[in-house]
Copies of this chain bind each other. A is one copy, B any other.
Amino acid sequence: MTDFAATRARFHIPEGIVYLDGNSLGPMPLAAEARVARMLRAEWGEMLITGWNRAGWMDQPRRVGDRIARLIGAPPGSVVMGDTLSIKVWQALAAALRLNPGRKVILSDTGNFPSDLYMADGLVKLLGDGHALRTVAPEDVAGAIDESVAVLMLTEVDYRTGRLHDMAALTARAHAAGALTVWDLAHSAGAIEVDVTAAGADFAVGCTYKYLNSGPGGPAFIHVAPRHADAALPALSGWLGHEAPFAFDPDYRPGRGVERMRVGTPPVIQLAALEAALDVWDTVDMADVRARSIELSQAFIAGVEAGCPGLDLASPRDPAARGSQVSFRHPDGYAIMQALIARGVIGDFRAPDILRFGLTPLYIGAEDVARAVEVLAGVMANRAWDRPEYHRRAAVT
């Protein structure tokens, strides 16, 4: 049984704050400070260039990838770290299109995170020659998978509503139609139980700064199913994906397996922070996390619906159809969220009218949920959001 009191003690949560935005940026694991300080002084400072060998920086993207692999049901050696999620989405799409020549359509849904759609759009425009991105409503995806589709690209958990796609069923349907799949696990990894192997996913990508708590701008990950790993060609063919980077060959030869998806120099300082976060994840059973997340989410929904008239549930009511966040709609959602944040309850807002709350068992408990409900009820009862300063939009919402 995962000890959530112990995991909670391993994070820095500011005094007086209920943090329900770990679905956007996870809080700092306390050990990140010492781990990063050691990386700076004992590794970079003292080892200098020899750190690439002596501190193991060069292999770190693979070693850390193996620790992520456990959380998403991927076998060791099938996940590698680097770049940002947008870049990894693009790499997976470009590789999948080449594995499925003769077809030119990327199918996605309108609930996908915009950057995934933008990256896909950039790719099909670059390729030209009839390549296209087709998007349908999330509920229409299954019916839209036909024999024209080269790649089905979906984010498993909707970033606004938390609505969960059925990865195994949609992947099976895609495969039956001769399409490959690229799954974005941004709101899945560390949030719900994921089994990319059982689902038969061809490619999976994700970020680490949300549920995985690696800090702002932590590196992304990419998983390539072992059956594709030595055939998938990295269109972004950087030297660290080369079979022998330090041979400095004039010609590119893709490296073995998923390591070919590496591009440039790995962000070693960010990786150190991620390692500290994974030390916490290593103590955790995802089934326990999922069960507790549902418990907290159900309590939150019940509390808000009982105490906060005017807020409409935007997330699926069935916990099995939802990730680890709960969203509500309100026309004044932005201002309400500012009023909440001013009172120490941090969630976030997504245009046009969504208030998002992440329920993250590693550092959120029943008492936090109760307090969030109480504060939200107070804000709603007194129309506390109805002040000009709460309506002023910040650059980042």
Interface extent on A, as a size class?
A: 35 or more
Pairwise interchain contact A238-B126, C-beta atoms closer than 8 A? no
Pairwise interchain contact A250-B394, C-beta atoms closer than 8 A? no
A73 proximity list for chain B (CB < 8 A): none
Of the listed stretches A177-185, A267-275, A323-331, chain B binds A267-275
List residues 238-290 of chain A with CB under 8 A from any CB of chain B. Answer: 238-240, 242, 246-252, 263-271, 273
Pairwise interchain contact A122-B48, C-beta atoms closer than 8 A? no
On whether A264 and B57 interact (CB within 8 A), knowing A48-B27, A114-B242, A273-B269, the answer reads no
Any B CB within 8 A of the CB of A58: yes
Pairwise interchain contact A87-B87, C-beta atoms closer than 8 A? yes
Q: State the CA gap A45–B252 with chains docked (Å).
A: 42
Determine how many copies of this chain the complex contains. Answer: 2
Pairwise interchain contact A110-B250, C-beta atoms closer than 8 A? yes
Pairwise interchain contact A122-B236, C-beta atoms closer than 8 A? yes
Residue of A49, A122, A238, A341 with most chain B CB atoms under a 10 A cut-off: A49
List residues 30-67 of chain A with CB under 8 A from any CB of chain B. Answer: 32-33, 36-37, 40-41, 44-46, 48-53, 57-59
A24 proximity list for chain B (CB < 8 A): 49
Please, which residue of chain B has its CB at the minimum distance from the CB of A397? B246
Q: State the CA gap A115–B239 with chains docked (Å).
A: 5
On whether A86 and B238 interact (CB within 8 A), knowing A33-B37, A270-B267, A273-B269, the answer reads yes
Chain A 93-126 interface 0/1 with B at a Cβ cutoff of 8 Å (1 = within): 0100000000000000010011101110111011
**Sorted from nearest, which 7 A-B pairs have the closest CB atoms?**
A84-B264, A115-B239, A122-B237, A217-B267, A86-B238, A216-B268, A86-B264
